[in-house]
Amino acid sequence: MTSWYSMPTARDWTCPPSPGDAHAFHQSLPGYSPTPLVPVPELATELGVGRLLVKDESSRLGLPAFKVLGASWACRQVLRERPGAMLVTATDGNHGRAVARMAAHFGVAATVFVPEVMLPQTAARITAEGAKVVWVDGGYDDAVRWAAAFAADQPGRALVQDTAWAGYEQVPAWIVQGYQTLLDEIDTQLGGAPDLVTVPVGVGSLAEAVVRHCRRPAAAHPGVLSVEPDTAACVLASLTAARPRYGQFCAPAATRPSPSATRTHCAPWPTSAGSASPRA
């Protein structure tokens, strides 16, 4: 079932842009190059729009996902504060592999907790990056709890997680900042702002980065359309209820395809509430 929530005043809302200089850091990494904007003329015709472009993140810094942008910047910031720390995270795939890759880049150890539903070949790719993989008897949220407890148990361990909760906001904020690189590239490639930006919500970090970029003061404010599955439509549920609703409250348990569908949305409530029109 498709559901919509539209906020006509969203384009008038503003918020501070993502701080930091993640783009310059990413440009210093081996293998950096902007990912392409790929025209999809058939879909543009079907939708009745002049041009439709897809940001192809299938090869980003040698990995097959945009997640390495946020993870790399967060790892760099964490290690500036805690040099030599073991990097710890939980993942169901791309984020954990990116943290493992950056741990090797910075010459530190990494431990990655993964849920029981992870495919063995996905875990093998994380191990191939040099990280220790720990299997958790449970879903994604269980893996996050194990990772957080493991990191807190020793002073030489640092959690690099892309999910936020009360008391753990700084690292997820750095991950959001890391995605600014993707948005800077789009601005350069287009030579101006698009009419509409469509973004998947997921755990929320990329969506927040898009909102911050598209709602910064003294800049063009294109439309923002966020999209999430109806099995984990936390933003849609939150906007409809006019208050934050998280993870397991977003969909009946019987409709969830796997434990990973219960992820907690991490974008701060005011950011998501005042800026986008979600679709599930």
Would you name the residues annotated as active-site residues?
67, 92
Structure tokens, 109: 């150890």
Q: If you compute the radius of gyration of the chain from its CA atoms, what whole number of angstroms results?
A: 18
Closest residue by Cα to residue 106 from 129, 133, 84: 84
Distance of alpha carbon 174 from alpha carbon 197, whole angstroms: 22
End-to-end C-alpha distance for the chain, whole angstroms = 8
Collapsing DSSP to helix, strand or coil, 196 comes out as: strand
8 Å CB contact between 161 and 147: yes
Closest residue by Cα to residue 182 from 19, 71, 22, 63: 22
8 Å CB contact between 37 and 19: no
Q: Which residue shows structure tokens 């384009």?
A: 11
Element at 90 (helix H, strand E): strand 86-90
